[in-house]
Amino acid sequence: MSGFTCATCAETVSVDTFAPWRCPHEKGDRRHVLLINENDQHVVESHHNPFIALRRNMMWWQFAMARGMTDNRSIAVVEEVDRAIAQVGGVGFMTTPMLYQSAFSDHLSFESPGGIWVKDETRNVAGSQKARHLMAILLHLVVAEELGITPWTDRSSRPKLAISSCGNAAIAASTLAAAAQWPIDVFIPEWSSGFVVEKLTELGAHIHRCPRRAEDPPGDPTVLRFREAVNNGSIPFSVQGPENALCLDGGRTIGWEMAQQLAQENITALDAVFVQVGGGAFAASLSRGLSEAGISAPLVAVQTEGCAPLSRAWDTAQSDANPAQHWTKHMWAWENEPVSLADGILDDETYDWVADIAQIQRTKGKVVVASESHVVEASRVAPETTLIDASPTGTAGVAGLLSMRAELSNTARVAVVLSGVRR
């Protein structure tokens, strides 16, 4: 059985703990972060649903086993939840495709045996990878309810779920919440409109628009309002590790799947995996999954020139033996108004910067700040050459590949993830 360890204070949290959202020593500033302990075993079973095929590696399953649930019942829980998700969102969880893209590779002048492998997360629940992060939290809650170990006694007394997001994460959270018939508060930017708001309304989410207030501390107002809700008893249904450590558990399924798909082509190493970074959980957990499954792949974390707090932290934290203990020295809110066509990764802070830097160091990767011209080019080239209708946010990792192309040999093997369907 695994568990968590706080990167800041080394506090440990057992895997059988109910609601292991944050470090017990965290006092409201979110400058502690629980990271999942290393586990030498990696078990894969045959099933189309990653939360069944990969369950034995996951914290929600280990929690269920430690608390006395049978394995057969744990599988049934996933199947029941997934059927409800498919009814609400039109699709349940499945292994998403990862394929060599010849037209894309040719366009960027790669040659055999090198080229570009693309993981298509636009086919996932709610059109992005965000639901993977959140499913791990939901399964923990559903298991705890079934075992009778929640503070609430029935569905009518459930506390609300809460999330802050400007798009994909909000839709994913609201899809899962609707499937579980769980009330949810969604904190979105004041300027949000169009499809996102329409979809959230359709899914029955309680929407809160969050303007920046003169009296607010620096940072994203949606996060500030979300934290107020959590302080008042809501469950952090978040894709940010410092808010809910279990989101990093679900995100690892992407890396584990990629490792399986690469192994089918006898590939054990990549020259780089490019991942767009906003809050940072996506990059950290994907890379962690690849590492745990035995794939060598330097993590290239990609930010835009209009908002790059992780790049700033990477510059200062590399020489720090324990950067998490000196949080404010390395990570603080982006001073200027964040701006980019890839608007879904304009987080004022890279909340999971500690986990990101750990994986960048572990894999000998780097941080790349893509120019806005590369962000725009990626949003055009990636869909045209792959026929995957990803949004500019979903193609932002490709902007990092464009930025680094001159540094890579023509036979380099690289991977990108297109996540976030064009709305």
Q: What confidence tens digit (pLDDT) does each residue in 380-390 have? A: 999 999 999 99
Tens digit of each residue's pLDDT (9 = 90 or more) over 295-327: 999 999 999 999 999 999 999 999 999 999 999
**What pLDDT does residue 224 have?**
94
Note whether residue 406 is domain-resident: yes
Confidence category of residue 2, pLDDT binned at 50, 70, 90 = confident
Note whether residue 263 is domain-resident: yes
Is the model's pLDDT at 16 over the cut of 90? yes
Task: Give CA–CA dist 280/309, Å, rounded.
Answer: 11
* Segments forming the whole domain that contains residue 359: 98-127+248-418
Which among 185-189, 216-220, 419-423 has the top mean pLDDT? 185-189
Note whether residue 374 is domain-resident: yes
Whose CA is closest to 418, among 76, 122, 161, 159?
A: 122
Note whether residue 8 is domain-resident: no
Tens digit of each residue's pLDDT (9 = 90 or more) over 76-129: 999 999 999 999 999 999 999 999 999 999 999 999 999 999 999 999 999 999
Task: Give CA–CA dist 346/353, Å, rounded.
Answer: 14
**What pLDDT does residue 178 have?**
98
Is the model's pLDDT at 3 over the cut of 80? yes
Inter-residue contact 8 to 242 (CB < 8 Å): no
What count of other Cβ atoms lies within 10 Å of the Cβ of residue 74?
A: 22
Half-sphere exposure in the Cβ direction for 11 (13 Å, CA): 14
The residue whose two tokens read 């979105």 is: 188
Tokens at 326, concatenated: 């000196």
**What pLDDT does residue 177 have?**
98
Note whether residue 378 is domain-resident: yes
Is the model's pLDDT at 1 over the cut of 80? no
Note whether residue 357 is domain-resident: yes
Note whether residue 268 is domain-resident: yes
**What pLDDT does residue 126 have?**
95
**What pLDDT does residue 193 have?**
77
* 0.85 exceeded by pTM: yes
Whose CA is closest to 299, among 346, 365, 353?
A: 365
Say how many domains are in the chain: 1
Is the model's pLDDT at 337 over the cut of 90? no
**What pLDDT does residue 304 have?**
98
Is the model's pLDDT at 368 over the cut of 90? yes
**What pLDDT does residue 300 have?**
98
Note whether residue 265 is domain-resident: yes
Three-class SS of residue 273?
Answer: strand
Task: Give CA–CA dist 196/259, Å, rounded.
Answer: 32
Inter-residue contact 78 to 142 (CB < 8 Å): no
Please list the residues that pair with 302 across neighbouring strands.
276, 368
CATH of the domain at 276: 3.40.50.1100
Inter-residue contact 185 to 229 (CB < 8 Å): yes
Tokens at 315, concatenated: 């510059």
Three-class SS of residue 252?
Answer: helix
Termini Cα distance of the chain:
41
Tokens at 397, concatenated: 């990792």
Is the model's pLDDT at 264 over the cut of 70? yes
